[in-house]
Chain A
Amino acid sequence: MAEVSANRQVSSSGFLLTMATEVPSPDPGQFVMVGLPEPGAFFLRRPFSVFDFQARRKRLSVYYSVAGPGTEVLSRVRPGEKLSLLGPLGRGFPESPRRLHVMVGGGRGGAPLAFLSRRARKGKRVLFLVGARTEEHVLPLERIRASKIFVATEDGSLGMRGTVLDLLENVVSSPDFDWAEAALYGCGPSALLRKLHAMAVKRRVPCFVSLEARMGCGLGACQGCAVRKSSGGFFLVCKEGPVVDSLSVDWQSYSEVR
């Protein structure tokens, strides 16, 4: 069990849940399974990517949005309450040897990328692209460490007006953008990831994406979080993901499921 030290609303749709825990240090992109209160009604734990981990203070944070009755109950948890916590689990983001890391986060998908940005090695140039509906929905930008942060909102209330993909088109059309040095990292809605993958294929650059799936165990036992592979068959998001090479995903199937 992990004691909740904070559970604050930090944007219109986003909450930052911080727990005191002894779990091993997570890699960016790994996830934890968090149990909800009212275990009778909501007995499945929910998977969340790690947003932050402070080893010294033994604090782990996740950034989530209220997407259904389970996360609604979670949003009402108060500091001092205890939640069951399992993790870190799964495979995180691999570090590309390329020098330019382009991180593209749509909505709450920015969370694992924010963690990744803070762990980027010296000598890497990080461009961080954030997309949200309005300024109020943007995740906490102060937790991102990047050479440059770009923001797009659908209503133009912060940064560029448009989607994060429009923003990406802008960024890559800059004359000093060097595809030969670039690697793409993405997390967010399936339509975003699918287009990011298409761009990576066209430009022949590596692209790593963090996927979402409904999970039962988080450990590869229940076979619940299967995603169709481009090469046929399925892989499990909890074991082979949540971060995978975008080439391995059957995007047609993934878009229909999400």
Chain B
Amino acid sequence: MTVHLGSLRLRNPLMLASGVAGYGHELGDVIDLGRVGAVVTKTLTLKPRQGNAPPRLAEVPSGLLNSIGLANVGSRAFISEHLDRLRNLDTRIIVSVGGFTVAEYAKLVLELEEVGGFDAYEVNISCPNVKAGGVNFGSTPGKAAGVVRALRSKTGRPLIVKLTPNVTDIPSVAVACESEGADALTVGNTFRAMAVDLDSRRPVLGATGGGLSGPAIKAMCMAKVWEVVSSVRTPVIACGGICSAGDALEYIVVGAAAFQVGSACFRDFRAPESILEGITEFCRRKGVRSVAELRGTLELPRT
């Protein structure tokens, strides 16, 4: 089941999505991290962040709405308190990085480059750009490219860029990131969403709006993955509502090279294990020798 994302080699295509596994050790008792292909950390920013006002979570039909607000310990505490433990995990470690200016992204990566001890970056470009009125970096090709360009010159480690689906033209952002040297693209982050409590007539989330994940977004994310794989050659990592082996395999057939599991872990921490077993079983039953053989084998009707 080995997969390659640029120079990054994973023992299997299953990655734990950013935000679900904290800094690696929180889930140590419930998930055997030695089985997964990679762990993406919670998004790290230069300075610690407390996060948004509660409530930060709401369940909606088949979906999880969150507005955590990038709560994280900041780079200094990450390096001194968490990196050593992460380093010792028997899996690929991908550090998710965020920032509010291009300079912040760059400074964070430089600090991390000095210490090392991890395998790749996932660049979270769904962060508000404070110098552009809070518009997300990921929302225009130019701003997304600016972040990738700044980081590409600072590191030789693989750069995975996590795209936001909240754009009208995701291929243009994907192409911009590819041309600046991204090694892989994660498609994608959560969908903007909102829930209302009718009794109080208030938004359920303290931050009013949030991001939707879980089975509710799978079909929408599938279309985004399809649009991206149809427009770039860079490997795509699918991330959106994967709960079963079937979900993951559908994304692979559409063209994803790897996939991430997030919210499904909250339902059942054995989800990663059962997804991997299900994929092995599917391949055996269909006489497929490797996951790579299935990638991009979507049969389109002839026109």
Contacts and interface: CB of A to CB of B under 8 A. Distances in A.
Interface of A: 35, 39-45, 70, 84, 86, 213-217, 219-228, 233-234, 253, 257
B30 A257 contact: no
B55 A257 contact: yes
B62 A216 contact: no
Contact of A44 (B22, B29, B64, B71): B64
B268 interface: yes
A234 B59 contact: no
A70 B61 CA distance: 10
Given A86-B30, A216-B64, A222-B68, A227 B267 contact: no
Given A222-B20, A224-B66, A226-B71, A43 B263 contact: yes
A221 B62 contact: no
A86 B269 contact: yes
Given A41-B62, A214-B58, 17 more contacts: A35-B267, A43-B62, A43-B266, A45-B267, A217-B20, A217-B265, A219-B30, A221-B19, A221-B22, A221-B27, A222-B266, A223-B19, A224-B56, A225-B56, A225-B57, A226-B54, A226-B56
B274 to A, nearest CB: 12
B189 to A, nearest CB: 15
27 contacts: A40-B215, A40-B243, A41-B61, A43-B59, A43-B214, A43-B263, A44-B64, A44-B267, A45-B266, A84-B267, A214-B57, A216-B266, A217-B27, A219-B27, A221-B19, A221-B21, A221-B22, A221-B27, A222-B20, A223-B42, A223-B56, A224-B56, A228-B53, A233-B50, A234-B51, A253-B53, A257-B206
Contacts of A84: 267-268
A35 B268 contact: yes
Contacts of B147: none
A233 to B, nearest CB: 5
B26 A224 contact: no
Nearest to A236: B71
Nearest to A233: B50
A13 to B, nearest CB: 17
B211 to A, nearest CB: 12
A176 to B, nearest CB: 41
A257 B54 contact: yes
B151 to A, nearest CB: 25
A72 B2 CA distance: 44
B264 interface: yes
